[in-house]
Structure 1
Amino acid sequence: MKLCSFSVKNSYPFSETLGAFVDNQFVDLAASYRTYLRECTDVDQNRVFDIANTLIPNDMTKFLEGGTYSMEAAKKAVEFSKETSPSNDYEKIIYSNDEIKIHAPIKNPPTIRDFLSFEEHFRNSLNASISVDDSKDGTVSLGGTVPKVWYERPIYYKTVASTIIGTEEECVWPSYSKVRDYELEFACVIGKRAENVTASEASNYIAGFLIYNDFTARDTQLSEMEGRLGPAKGKDFCTAMGPYLVTVDEIENVYNLSMTARVNGEVWSQGSTSTMYRTFEDIIEYVSQSEPLVPGDILGSGTVGRGCGLELGKFLKDGDIIELEVEGLGVLRNQIRVNERG
């Protein structure tokens, strides 16, 4: 399934609902499941709303916490939507793209970890430099070679959930940064609690995958990381993800997907998930050591080789439209808007 979160345009009160993208339409999963319970089961009609809303809540993280029961209910809702009319005597089930606004599939993940899993990107970034101001001394570079520890264990940072945006939303760029960059990535989402699991069993804990873009204030990032910590303000202002959470059964081989970044329609970056140095299964094994991963946790792959402006020597401008596309996962589209006051 291609799971998503959407709201109906011009509806009041505003609310997001859990949906699925099916045959170029959007299915309201809870509404479809409620109608299924009414028409196809002998469930007490007074309990229909409670059952459906418990199994298919509006929040993706809570939905994932429902485990197999919630996932099976969603599948039944999708199947039923193909057999019934778009609306019925009870409520509307199916919406066209023009009728809805899609949001980030996961708004409040418990944690977000983003890894450094592509060796080419790391090497290129270490050799790149940028000007953080107009002075000669304002040039900053990480420098050096890939450290030994990178080959020994997964390296990652954590970021905040409060600045997540979805597709077709603006990335508001902070006034403290002048060097604006994108990151061509994808991510896995944890589907059930995982602690001390091995790589061989880790795939059982993945709910699905999505496209991930942790926009980077490159001047701020490189400057603050000279202090041996971070990134912090260089990353935390905005992370885009979506447009869907694509469940694992939809993808034949997640490690053989093409990746593309376009800026204003022009291809800037191309790569493949096949070039990851470590798999998500390896990453889950490492992170889950004496530390639980829980439903809704997001693990980013890191940037594919030549998947950002830092590696290419060119950056985003105010008004630019950046599209990230990963085969089978959709297209994540955002526009840059510079905030001159904050």
Structure 2
Amino acid sequence: MKFATWEDGGTVTAGVVGEHGLHALPAGVTVLDLVRAGLPAALEAGAATLSAPPVPLDRVRLLPPLQPETIRDFVAFEEHVEGVVMSVGDGGGVAAEWYEAPTFYFTNPYPLYGAHDDIPVPPGSRLFDFELEVAAVVGRKVASETPDRVRDAIFGYAVLNDWSARDLQRREMKVLLGPAKGKDSATTLGPWLVTADELEPYRDDEGFLPLDMRVSVNGVEVGQDLLSNMGWPFEDLISYAARGTVLRPGDVLGSGTCGHGGCLAELWGRRGEISPPPLRPGDVVEMTVEGIGTIRNRVVPGPELPPVEPARPRPRARQRTN
């Protein structure tokens, strides 16, 4: 089943994606409410909703299917890491530590955009980039559980575009705090939330989901990969994220960017030149993941702000002088 959130005439509604359009849940019920209720209850509620009159998809603005409290974004594709280190990092190849355990950072849960929203360029950025990912949404509380016990903890999946200002990211990663402002301005999540049971038929013998992932810019395909090229399946990512702590229903975990052109920075690193060029206003980025759906966003100018002031030299006095 596919759960969506949309805006129509100023009213925000959640519901089910059906064959002939969108079917609204009872007023006030959100997709996050369904996630917190658990997958069996959500599927039952969704089935009952399919009897509601359909709303045409082309009449509404699709919003992110839910508003999570936290988003953890992993770097689970080795090929992506190889290329990006050449472009954004120090060019030293994949660190040995990458192979030891999954690595993630917390990203901003607030600037979420829908499947067809315009995306503004971050202030001051000249190297704007996309990142093709799949997000898993947690469906129950998880606390220090092994991977074999958490498959039922995945409520569903969505396409995720982790928009990135590579010039800002390159500077802040020199400070050894990981990406922060370079990933702070926008994340697309959508087009809807596909429940985990729909994707089970794709699962291979190793527990991975070999879903086809593709991204194009202005109609020209730039990247293609399989989700099964992750170094760890989602169950391992969830188990690691909850190691010594707690995940709650609605938390989002990104797979990290796929390889073979899942972002421009990977290609820049491999080619040793800024080709294809960074995203500019007017560019249209389209991503499709098999079994989940398509998101399509246009890049637009961002706000014009003055340059950031550099650090002021300080005397390092230990006592007040006034």
Superposed counterparts of 1:1-342, under 5 Å: 1-8=1-8, 10=9, 14-30=10-26, 57-58=29-30, 60-68=31-39, 70-81=41-52, 86=53, 94-107=54-67, 109-128=68-87, 141-251=89-199, 252-253=201-202, 255-305=209-259, 306-313=261-268, 314=276, 315-342=278-305
1:30–1:77 Cα contact (<8 Å) kept = no
Distance 1:244 1:299, change over 3 A: same
The answer to whether the Cα contact below 8 Å between 1:120 and 1:304 also exists between their aligned partners in 2 is: yes
Amino acid at match of 2:38: G
Cα distance in 2, alignment partners of residues 164 and 229 from structure 1: 23
What is the CA distance between 1:112 and its match in structure 2?
0.3
Structure 1 residue ranges without an equivalent (≥5): 32-52, 87-93, 130-140
**Distance of 1:125 and 1:167 partners within structure 2:** 26
The whole-number CA distance in structure 2 between the counterparts of 1:332 and 1:74 is: 26
CA contact (8 A) 2:147 2:239 kept: yes
- The offset of 1:30, in angstroms, is 2.1
Q: Is the contact made by 2:15 and 2:49 (CA closer than 8 Å) also made in structure 1? A: no
Structure 1 CA distance for aligned equivalents of residues 77 and 138 of structure 2: 21
In 1, the alpha carbon distance for the partners of 2:50 and 2:284 equals: 36
Q: Given that residues 125 and 142 in structure 1 are in contact (C-alpha distance below 8 angstroms), is that contact kept between their aligned partners in structure 2?
A: no
Offset of residue 288 of structure 1: 1.2
What is the alpha-carbon root mean square deviation over aligned residues? 1.6
TM-score, scaled relative to structure 1 = 0.81
Contact kept in structure 1, 2:75 and 2:257, CA below 8 Å: yes
TM-score (structure 2 length as normaliser) = 0.86
Q: Does the 8 Å CA contact 2:39/2:155 hold for their aligned counterparts? A: no
Equivalent AA in structure 1 for residue 177 of structure 2: L
Q: Provide the secondary structure at the position in 1 that maps to 2:11.
A: coil
Identify the range of structure 1 (175-184 vs 249-258) with the bigger mean alpha-carbon deviation.
249-258
- Rounded to whole Å, the distance in 1 between the matches of 2:241 and 2:62 is 31
**CA-CA distance at 1:192 after TM superposition:** 0.7
**Distance across 1 between alignment mates of 2:5 and 2:46:** 16
Structure 1 residue 190: Cα displacement: 0.2
Measured against aligned partners, the alpha-carbon deviations of 1:165-195 in whole angstroms (never above 9, x if no partner) come to 1111011112211101000111100001111
Distance apart, 1:72 and its partner CA: 3.8
Letter of the aligned partner of 2:220 in structure 1?
E
Query: Which residue of structure 1 lines up, in the alignment, with residue 316 of structure 2?
Result: none
Deviation readout 1:222-277 (Å, 9 max, x if unpaired) = 11100000211100111111001000111122511000001111101111111111
Distance in 1 separating the partners of 2:90 and 2:45 = 47
Higher helix share: 1
User: 1:340: how far off?
Assistant: 4.6
More deviation in 174-183 or 312-321? 312-321
Q: Give 1:79 deviation, angstroms.
A: 4.7
Aligned residue-pair number: 290
Alpha-carbon offset, residue 80 of structure 1: 3.3
Q: Is the 8 A contact 1:142 1:222 kept in 2?
A: no
> What do residues 139-175 of structure 1 show as CA deviations (whole Å, max 9, x unaligned)?
xx43212112111111011011110111110111122
Distance 1:79 1:21 in 2: 8
Mean alpha-carbon deviation: is it higher for 94-103 or for 234-243? 94-103
User: Structure 2 vs 1, CA of residues 283 and 69 (structure 1 numbering), >3 Å: closer, same or farther?
Assistant: closer
CA deviation profile, 1:291-330 (whole Å, cap 9, x unmatched): 1110110000001112100122322111101011100111
Gaps of 5+ in 2: 204-208, 269-275, 306-322
- Structure 1 partner of 2:309: none
Moved more, 230-239 or 64-73: 64-73
Q: Which amino acid aligns with 1:299?
A: L
Q: Which runs of 4+ in 1 moved over 6 A?
A: none
SS in 2 for 1:339: coil
